[in-house]
A and B are shown apart, each in its own frame.
Chain A
């Protein structure tokens, strides 16, 4: 008899319905529609890769075809962002952020014995995860066997303590959080089928920082400047005469430029465009904090040299192209939610594989034939860089970063005159996109 009232009550309500709240279906379908649209979007890494490739291609085309004399110098050596290079993925940085799983509740669905299902059924349904965040990945605990509670007698406790359902004791909370073991509560496995009511259920995984990052990047050394030399030079030491103009060749023009730059005659001006760099990188996370990255990049260094003396003038347009291989060690500062902060440093070796210089001279109103040269072709240059960066990762595989730094080029006597030699120590900053493969 003690259970009869329950059974009949359940029968009464078996087919009982209440009109659903107004607008419920519209809210559901709208939420489902948003979710479907989001899932239909190509994986982020496809987009980031495509954007990076497109941006790199556009930047490369722009830089290659804009010509050596078409850029403007900063005039004061201030730091100028490489505004002519669109979005780019940034290299490596092995600073792959930790992707944390979102919290979710799990509950053992096996214990629930609905009144409409015969009690002899072994309800081994799977555990259901609460869908809280799309990015979350929560392990599901194994199913638990059903416990038939239909025979549990009603407990009559007249005059019992009037303790009401009040705040959840800490022990009980802990018990629900860790059904396998807690303080002061039965250690029986999850007879509970209504969840753990906890925000971080057992089984939540956190991925380790062992990802590999591949990136395309654009950036550069911010050393654009114009040099105007105010020193005087003894006439006899000046070499800027038409007669002394270098013949077409591979090294004479370069030597000529170096001489002018070294002597700094008052009539000599050097204008170095903002170096532009594109590259790819690969980085690997050595430890959760340390990363090692390398890659290959391409740098364009364009300069214009002008010498004016009386009625004569010489204008040299120079374009240098370097292939560089950097090697950087990165240190990640503990991640703040979706932000990564890091520092990286390391050397880079660059090889000048192409060099073009065109010299145009005027003597009064007479223009001399243009002369061509390849100053610095085949030369090498070492540099060391130190960067600090901040990356924001709105999605798991995509990061937006900003990275200022300094770079020092170890120039040699044979190094062609360029932004590297004019200002060996440079500030730089770059920004762009970076995507992480398995982080």
Chain B
């Protein structure tokens, strides 16, 4: 099996190969999902060197625990791997204990509830904006927006109050909204 032919393998076939420690299967799995998982991890972790370390640990864990994966339909392998990466990212963030205090926004109330014009912003720009958020805002935003966590769940995960989680999300969205507007304004002028 090589990467070219391996790309046609189903998720279950890939997992079977990984369980059998087929190097090619591991390579195919890595090639297929590394880019996506890097995007997921880098949404949580701003430091690129830490992203690499976390991804390495996550992939090793994925390969070792492949026999524990239970296929639940198309996309379940991707979801399972994403969960591992997110968990490892959160553990990395948890080590910081005191997440940095986000900046105070001026006229925050004016931007807080603006609808997003995110469709006018390339996704890679959006990704960059999310990475620019302070750790606290970014973590809550990712958990809420991408992992579908409630504020209660986020509060339990991060050891904060529920209303604090809501506040962080509010601030994160306000910041992103402002940056999106600035981006649109800048590129419209061009």
Interchain CB contact under 8 A, B148 and A115: yes
A247 CB, nearest partner CB in chain B, Å: 75
Of A23, A117, A161, A172, which one neighbours B159 at CB under 8 angstroms? Answer: A172
Interchain CB contact under 8 A, A5 and B116: yes
**Assuming A6-B145, A176-B156, A176-B159, is B56 touching A194 (CB within 8 A)?**
no
Interchain CB contact under 8 A, B90 and A16: no
Give complex CA distance A31, B58 in Å: 12
**Assuming A12-B118, A19-B35, A32-B60, is B157 touching A192 (CB within 8 A)?**
yes
Q: Which residues of chain A are near B20, meaning CB under 8 Å?
A: none
Interchain CB contact under 8 A, B156 and A158: no
Interface string of A1-40 (1 = CB under 8 A from B): 0000110111011011111110111011101100110000
**Docked complex: A92-123 residues within 8 A CB-CB of B:** 105, 107, 109, 111-118, 121, 123
Of B83, B84, B87, B164, which one neighbours A165 at CB under 8 angstroms? Answer: B164
With most chain A CB atoms within 10 A of its CB, the pick from B48, B83, B124 is B83
Interchain CB contact under 8 A, B87 and A195: yes
For residue A365, CB closer than 8 A to chain B, the reply is no
Interchain CB contact under 8 A, A176 and B157: yes
For residue A185, CB closer than 8 A to chain B, the reply is yes
Of A117, A150, A152, A168, which one neighbours B75 at CB under 8 angstroms? Answer: A117
Q: Which residues of chain A are near B145, meaning CB under 8 Å?
A: 5-6, 9-10
For residue A191, CB closer than 8 A to chain B, the reply is yes
Interchain CB contact under 8 A, B38 and A21: yes
Which B positions have Cβ atoms within 8 angstroms of A? 21, 23, 26-27, 30, 34-36, 38-39, 42-43, 48, 51-52, 55-56, 59-61, 63-65, 68-70, 72-73, 75-76, 78-80, 82-84, 86-87, 90-91, 94, 97-99, 101-102, 104, 109, 112-113, 115-116, 118-119, 123-124, 126-127, 135-137, 139-140, 144-153, 155-164, 166-170
Give complex CA distance A186, B155 in Å: 11
Give complex CA distance A126, B101 in Å: 37
Chain A at the B interface: SS class: loop
For residue A231, CB closer than 8 A to chain B, the reply is no
Interchain CB contact under 8 A, A13 and B123: yes
Interchain CB contact under 8 A, A21 and B101: no
Chain B at the A interface: SS class: helix
Give complex CA distance A131, B67 in Å: 14
For residue A232, CB closer than 8 A to chain B, the reply is no
28 contacts between A and B (CB under 8 A): A6-B148, A16-B123, A18-B38, A28-B59, A29-B26, A105-B87, A114-B83, A117-B79, A123-B72, A149-B150, A150-B148, A155-B166, A156-B113, A157-B166, A158-B109, A160-B167, A163-B161, A163-B163, A164-B102, A164-B168, A165-B160, A166-B101, A168-B159, A172-B155, A172-B156, A173-B159, A192-B156, A195-B87
**Assuming A20-B55, A157-B167, is B73 touching A121 (CB within 8 A)?**
yes
**Assuming A117-B79, A128-B84, is B149 touching A149 (CB within 8 A)?**
yes
Q: Which residues of chain A are near B109, meaning CB under 8 Å?
A: 158
For residue A175, CB closer than 8 A to chain B, the reply is yes
Interchain CB contact under 8 A, B73 and A117: yes
Counting from the closest, the 7 A-B pairs by CB-CB distance are: A172-B159, A17-B35, A168-B159, A165-B136, A114-B79, A21-B52, A116-B75
For residue A169, CB closer than 8 A to chain B, the reply is yes
Q: Which residues of chain A are near B155, meaning CB under 8 Å?
A: 172
Give complex CA distance A117, B27 in Å: 25
Size category of the binding interface on chain A: 35 or more
Residue of A nearest to B102 (CB): A164
Give complex CA distance A385, B55 in Å: 57
For residue A162, CB closer than 8 A to chain B, the reply is yes
Interchain CB contact under 8 A, B164 and A161: yes
Interchain CB contact under 8 A, B39 and A17: yes
**Assuming A19-B38, A149-B148, is B91 touching A195 (CB within 8 A)?**
yes
Interchain CB contact under 8 A, A194 and B90: yes
For residue A130, CB closer than 8 A to chain B, the reply is yes
Residue of A nearest to B167 (CB): A160
Q: Which residues of chain A are near B153, meaning CB under 8 Å?
A: 111, 149, 191-192
Q: Which residues of chain A are near B137, meaning CB under 8 Å?
A: 165
Q: Which residues of chain A are near B60, meaning CB under 8 Å?
A: 28, 31-32, 35, 131
Q: Which residues of chain A are near B87, meaning CB under 8 Å?
A: 105, 107, 194-195
Of A112, A126, A150, A152, which one neighbours B79 at CB under 8 angstroms? Answer: A112
Q: Which residues of chain B are near A252, meaning CB under 8 Å?
A: none
Interchain CB contact under 8 A, A194 and B157: yes
For residue A413, CB closer than 8 A to chain B, the reply is no
Interchain CB contact under 8 A, A165 and B158: yes
Interface string of A202-243 (1 = CB under 8 A from B): 000000000000000000000000000000000000000000
Give complex CA distance A12, B120 in Å: 12
For residue A125, CB closer than 8 A to chain B, the reply is yes
Interchain CB contact under 8 A, B166 and A128: no
Of A23, A36, A109, which one neighbours B83 at CB under 8 angstroms? Answer: A109
